[in-house]
Amino acid sequence: MQNRNYLFTALVVAALLLACTHETTNPNSPSNTSTFSSTCSPDSVYFVSDVLPIINSNCAMSGCHDAATRADGVQLTSYSTIMKYVRAGNAARSKLYEVIIDTDPGDRMPPPPRSPLTAAQIAKIQKWINQGAKNNSCASVCDANVFTYSGAVKTMLETKCVGCHSATSPGGNINLSTYASVRTVALNGKLYGSIAHQTGFSPMPKNSAKLSDCEITQVQRWIAAGAPNN
């Protein structure tokens, strides 16, 4: 009898220990370490290259949802903080998605006078959530020999800069949402100076990782070609 009780207690303790171990290694708990694929699948949306830049430049700015401001207690600066507002696999029931599609300007994010996210940005976030909201990344296929405005520069600016540099919220009085206004900062040296982190310029994108060497080269070559609308 004594032995049996002992065995039972031992089993309960073992089960509890296992439960605890399971808890700490739960694969579903948000971790800020992303899983990396060497190639980018065109059917997948990646957190690191597709989603985070949109959130960085449209939600996590100073005065909004950065670590210092945390407007409404909401911080959106990393995978783990963003996941508090995401139900993996179910965009429709994710707070993050609900607020970006809200048609009531009083509830929509980003709030007026900022523009809503574009349909393409909303679709990306929706697809990422519905694909499981993974902390995934891939080696982006950036070709430094492709440096047209429409084929390289514009998309990069829209993903990583325009949230803070639109007509309605021009950070530092700089609007990067139209070709004409991008051309001005391209030709006066500010665009390259800021993304290359040259001294005398504010390093951009603000509060985010520096652009890749390939992206910087694309912009540099486009400017050297006269910043054409090509």
Per rule CB under 6 A, is residue 195 in the interface with ligand HEC? yes
Per rule CB under 6 A, is residue 100 in the interface with ligand HEC? no
Per rule CB under 6 A, is residue 223 in the interface with ligand HEC? no
What is d(CA 84, CA 20) in angstroms, rounded to the nearest whole number? Answer: 22
Per rule CB under 6 A, is residue 116 in the interface with ligand HEC? no
What is d(CA 71, CA 226) in angstroms, rounded to the nearest whole number? Answer: 41
Query: Minimum CB separation from ligand HEC for residue 87, in Å?
Result: 26
Per rule CB under 6 A, is residue 207 in the interface with ligand HEC? yes
The phi and psi torsions of 194 (rounded to 5 degrees) equal -75, -40
Which candidate, 101, 131, 133, places its Cα nearest to that of 118?
A: 101
What is d(CA 91, CA 175) in angstroms, rounded to the nearest whole number? Answer: 31
Per rule CB under 6 A, is residue 172 in the interface with ligand HEC? yes
- Tokens read off for 132: 């499981």
What is d(CA 217, CA 145) in angstroms, rounded to the nearest whole number? Answer: 9
The phi and psi torsions of 128 (rounded to 5 degrees) equal -60, -45
Query: In this complex, which beta carbon is closest to ligand HEC, that of residue 130 or of residue 208?
Result: 208
Per rule CB under 6 A, is residue 206 in the interface with ligand HEC? yes
Query: In this complex, which beta carbon is closest to ligand HEC, that of residue 88 or of residue 216?
Result: 216
Per rule CB under 6 A, is residue 174 in the interface with ligand HEC? yes
Interface contacts to ligand HEC, rule CB under 6 A:
56-57, 61, 160-161, 163-165, 171-172, 174, 185, 190-191, 194-195, 201-202, 204-208, 211
